[in-house]
């Protein structure tokens, strides 16, 4: 059974950092493009970043480029999102998702990041 479990969210002050993790089971993350998507409270879905199968290509939304870094640990079958210089507008539920030519077929349950003083 495919499962994605995010962790690492919490309350952080503006300017602070957090690292989100997404532990995958039931498949090998290096066989798929892996994505982060966020959703601010009461708002819509916003794509954040993705990493390709061999880890050689990453892309970011303009709003996070230069502040967020996506990476993965194949040995642990885990995806990460390092978030630096956090802003109040980064407050959101962050989802990891598995992607392929069929779109984002599997999603985690999400982890809440709150940026506030």
Choosing from 68, 108, 111, 113, the residue that interacts with another protein (CB under 8 A) is 108
The Cα–Cα gap between 38 and 46 comes to 5
Contact status: 27 vs another protein (CB under 8 A):
no
Q: Is residue 58 a contact partner of residue 50, using CB atoms and an 8 Å limit?
A: yes
Q: Say how many C-beta atoms besides its own lie within 10 A of residue 54's C-beta.
A: 8
Residues 55-94, one symbol each (x = binds another protein by CB under 8 A, - = not), give ----xxxx--------------------------------
Dihedral, 27, 10, 44, 77 alpha carbons, nearest 10:
-10
Contact status: 95 vs another protein (CB under 8 A):
yes
Contact status: 105 vs another protein (CB under 8 A):
yes
Closer by beta carbon to another protein, 30 or else 46 = 46
Choosing from 1, 41, 44, 117, the residue that interacts with another protein (CB under 8 A) is 44
Structure tokens at 75: 């040995």
């Amino acid at each position: 059974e495919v499962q994605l479990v995010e962790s690492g969210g919490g309350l952080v002050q503006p300017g602070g950092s957090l690292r989100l993790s997404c532990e995958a089971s039931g498949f090998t993350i290096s066989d798929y493009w892996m994505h982060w998507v966020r959703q601010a409270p009461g708002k819509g879905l916003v794509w954040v970043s993705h990493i390709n199968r061999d880890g050689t290509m990453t892309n970011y939304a303009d709003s996070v480029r230069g502040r967020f870094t996506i990476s993965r640990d194949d040995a642990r079958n885990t995806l990460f999102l390092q978030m630096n210089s956090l802003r109040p507008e980064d407050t959101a539920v962050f989802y990891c998702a598995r992607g392929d030519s069929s779109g984002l077929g599997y999603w985690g349950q999400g982890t809440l990041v709150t940026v506030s003083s």
